[in-house]
Amino acid sequence: RAVIYREATEAEAIEAMAINVKHGEPPRDFLAYVRDRGSCLLVAKDGNDTVGFASVTVDAAHETARLDNVFVLPSSRRWGIGSRLLTESVSYARAQRVTRIITEIDVSNPAIVVYLKAGFRICGYLDLALFAQPVTQRPVLFLTYDILP
């Protein structure tokens, strides 16, 4: 597949918002990632079709980037698109001169393996049920990726 990876346009951000909702994900304002200088929406394009995207927010004061969302269309999974989006996200963060990327992932998400193969490591775990809280979300793993100078 000749998939192209690049920063999204506003039109692609709107398309990503629709894709996200269509696939049962919570609504996100991806336009903000395109418009804000401290963030980025990366897209994976197969011809004219958006087949995946990743959103990154930079906190320069703490030398940290947050990988807020990575999504690949179900029909385009297992082609390395998610792995490449992670690599492109790391490259974007490195260009912003941060020292780490953090993210979180649902413990039942099989993409955990993709993150670990890309060099992320587990740095925490949260299960609200352990604190006798009303549980509305599943347990999550916190991941980090250290960016070397």
Could you tell me where the DSSP H helices lie in 2-139? Answer: 10-22, 30-35, 81-95, 112-117
Residue-level pLDDT at 138: 80
The arithmetic mean of pLDDT across residues 18-40, rounded, is: 91
CA-to-CA distance for 145 and 142, rounded, in angstroms?
Answer: 11
Question: Does residue 135 carry a pLDDT above 70?
Answer: no
Question: Does residue 132 carry a pLDDT above 70?
Answer: no
Residue among 55, 138, 61 at smallest CA distance from 103 = 55
Which helix (DSSP H) or strand (DSSP E) does residue 52 occupy?
strand 49-59
Question: Does residue 36 carry a pLDDT above 70?
Answer: yes
Residue among 114, 117, 105, 108 at smallest CA distance from 143 = 105
Residue keyed to tokens 């020292």 = 99
Residue 10 tokens, joined: 């506003």
Q: Residue 67: pLDDT band by 50, 70, 90 thresholds?
A: very high
pTM over 0.75: yes
Tell me the average pLDDT of the chain. 91
- The answer to whether residues 81 and 51 touch, using CB atoms and an 8 Å cutoff, is yes
Q: Residue 24: pLDDT band by 50, 70, 90 thresholds?
A: confident
42-65 pLDDT, tens digit each: 999 999 999 999 999 999 889 999
The dihedral region occupied by 111, where left means phi > 0, alpha psi between -120 and 50, and beta the remainder, is: alpha
